[in-house]
Amino acid sequence: MPWKEVSAVDLREEFVLLARGEGSNMRALCRRFGISPTTGYKWLARHAAAGRAGLHDRSRRPNRSPGRTHEAVEAQVLALRDAHPAWGGRKLRRRLLDLGQTGAPSAGTITAILRRNGRLDMAGAERQPPFIRFEHAAPNDLWQMDFKGHFAVGRSRCHPLTVLDDHSRFALCLEACADERADTVQERLTAAFRRYGLPWRILADNGAPWGDDADSPHTVLTVWLLRLGIAVSHGRPYHPQTQGKAERFHRSLAAELLAHQPFADFVDCQRRFDAWRHVYNTERPHEALDLDVPVTRYSSSPRPFPESLPPIEYDSADIVRRVDAAGRISYRAQRLRIGKAFRGYPVALRPAIRDGCFNVFFADHRLATVDLKHVP
């Protein structure tokens, strides 16, 4: 309808008054005002019903929206989002389906609901870089272990110890620790091993307490793991993407728990850690798992935790030497560096393919290859 925008209501009122005048020609008047007869009669009817107020534009929003999400479903979406403020449309939809909501809206509709109700931080979402995902083929092939950045709990600092299964993203350990000492980590890992069994390998970074020995990548803690039959790997220095799943887990922990709740003490902290870990493992859909939850892809290890450490045994053909207090062994008048973490333990030398080279083993794990022709 081409009413001029200068004063649309005034023009409509003028049209109505002229149309009601004696001897007016309705069709000719409509042509002069540039409107159709249907529109002209509409303004006449509205003016008769409501006067000048009826000549204002009305909202074009329909009285009914059959395609709009039902209010009860929308309320359920918002309640679930409020319970999990960091979850997006895909996670929320999958959780609704898991809860038996067969008529759950699409992920895009849920995102629109969140945006419409002020629950969506698009700027924050855009800041998150994409992750390149790799995973091991089976549960317990590899566990990733790390400390999340510490934070204040009362007058102390909490150091969250996290252990994640690489294949399933199952959180095996989320412990509120008062420090990052080796004996603290060993105690928490022992509890995890008793519940879930032993993994084949653990990946950690190069910091204490699993990589702070100056002349060896091993520490007292990693030597204990080797004795249990668990291989130990370290991420590349200054490359946190090596432990990408642990880093992503820490992001989720920070966004979904640490950023929203202060903690009264360590008991309160651990209680909330346990509750969040349960949600993470059993309720929170994981996009890297096609929106399954981690518990559906995890199974306990068939390797039980031995309450007593197994003895260290070598073959009769092995050349066995005991590591001295300086972390070295002697062989063929050469002093070979093994690492102070192995002080007092026996290690074995086995000839390598190349002449003059030997592989150094601790229990079943090869520590290094040494070249006796080029010993520093």
Overall domain count for the chain: 4
> What is the rounded radius of gyration, in angstroms, for the C-alpha atoms of the chain?
35
pLDDT at 113 exceeding the cut of 90 = no
Q: Are residue 152 and residue 281 in the same domain, yes or no? A: yes
Residues 330-341: tens digit of each pLDDT: 998 889 999 999
Q: What is the 3-state secondary structure (H, E, C) of 13-31?
A: HHHHHHHCCCCCCHHHHHH
Give the length of the chain.
376
Q: Are residue 274 and residue 151 in the same domain, yes or no? A: yes
Give alpha helix (H) positions in the chain: 8-19, 26-33, 37-50, 71-83, 89-98, 107-116, 122-127, 182-196, 220-227, 244-253, 266-282
Would 303 be classed as within a structural domain? no
191 contacts 310 by C-beta, under 8 angstroms: no
305 contacts 189 by C-beta, under 8 angstroms: no
Would 38 be classed as within a structural domain? yes
Q: What is the predicted pLDDT for the residue at 123? A: 45
Q: In 3D, which of 14, 6, 53, 20 has the Cα closest to residue 32?
A: 14
CA distance 146 to 205: 7
pTM summary value? 0.66
CA distance 364 to 375: 24
Residues 341-353: tens digit of each pLDDT: 999 999 999 998 8
Residues 75-91: tens digit of each pLDDT: 777 777 777 776 777 77
| C-beta atoms surrounding 290 within 10 Å | 9
Q: Are residue 113 and residue 172 in the same domain, yes or no? A: no
Residues 205-256: tens digit of each pLDDT: 877 888 765 567 889 999 999 999 999 988 765 555 556 788 888 898 998 8
Q: What's the mean per-residue pLDDT of the chain?
A: 83
Position 98 confidence tier, pLDDT thresholds 50, 70, 90 = confident
pLDDT at 135 exceeding the cut of 60 = yes
Q: Are residue 112 and residue 246 in the same domain, yes or no? A: no
Would 311 be classed as within a structural domain? no
Higher pLDDT, 318 or 110: 318
Would 309 be classed as within a structural domain? no
Would 62 be classed as within a structural domain? no
CA distance 145 to 166: 10
Q: What is the predicted pLDDT for the residue at 74? A: 77
pLDDT at 129 exceeding the cut of 50 = no
Q: What is the predicted pLDDT for the residue at 128? A: 47
CB within 8 Å of 156: residues ≥ 6 apart: 178, 266
Would 113 be classed as within a structural domain? yes
pLDDT at 191 exceeding the cut of 50 = yes
Q: What is the predicted pLDDT for the residue at 165? A: 95
Q: What is the predicted pLDDT for the residue at 237? A: 57
Q: Buried b vs exposed e over 136-165: b needs ≥16 C-beta within 10 Å?
A: beebbebbbbbbbeeeebeeeebbbbbbbb
CATH number of the structural domain spanning residue 31: 1.10.10
Higher pLDDT, 6 or 116: 116
Would 283 be classed as within a structural domain? yes
211 contacts 219 by C-beta, under 8 angstroms: yes
Q: Are residue 147 and residue 123 in the same domain, yes or no? A: no
Chain CA centroid to CA 10, Å: 60
CATH number of the structural domain spanning residue 208: 3.30.420.10
pLDDT at 143 exceeding the cut of 80 = yes
pLDDT at 268 exceeding the cut of 50 = yes
Q: Are residue 185 and residue 283 in the same domain, yes or no? A: yes
Higher pLDDT, 125 or 116: 116
| Mean pLDDT along residues 122-139 | 55
CA distance 361 to 320: 9
Query: Highest-confidence range of 88-92, 255-259, 267-271, 372-376, by mean pLDDT?
Result: 267-271
- 196 token code pair: 């879930």
Q: Are residue 22 and residue 166 in the same domain, yes or no? A: no
CA distance 95 to 114: 15
Q: Are residue 23 and residue 76 in the same domain, yes or no? A: no
Position 298 confidence tier, pLDDT thresholds 50, 70, 90 = very high
pLDDT at 286 exceeding the cut of 50 = yes
Q: What is the predicted pLDDT for the residue at 131? A: 45
Diameter of the chain by CA atoms?
Answer: 127
| Lowest model confidence (mean pLDDT) among 10-14, 128-132, 203-207 | 128-132
Would 96 be classed as within a structural domain? yes
CA distance 216 to 327: 9
Position 50 confidence tier, pLDDT thresholds 50, 70, 90 = confident
Q: What is the predicted pLDDT for the residue at 5? A: 44
Q: Are residue 289 and residue 179 in the same domain, yes or no? A: yes
Position 186 confidence tier, pLDDT thresholds 50, 70, 90 = very high
pLDDT at 26 exceeding the cut of 90 = no
Alpha carbon distances (Å) from 296 to 91, 139, 278: 16, 11, 13
Q: Are residue 287 and residue 224 in the same domain, yes or no? A: yes
Q: What is the predicted pLDDT for the residue at 134? A: 58
Residue with the two structure tokens 């080029």: 374
Position 132 confidence tier, pLDDT thresholds 50, 70, 90 = very low
230 contacts 163 by C-beta, under 8 angstroms: no
| Mean pLDDT along residues 89-103 | 76
Q: What is the predicted pLDDT for the residue at 287? A: 83
292 contacts 283 by C-beta, under 8 angstroms: no
pLDDT at 64 exceeding the cut of 70 = no
Position 146 confidence tier, pLDDT thresholds 50, 70, 90 = very high
Residue 111: give the domain boundaries. Answer: 71-127
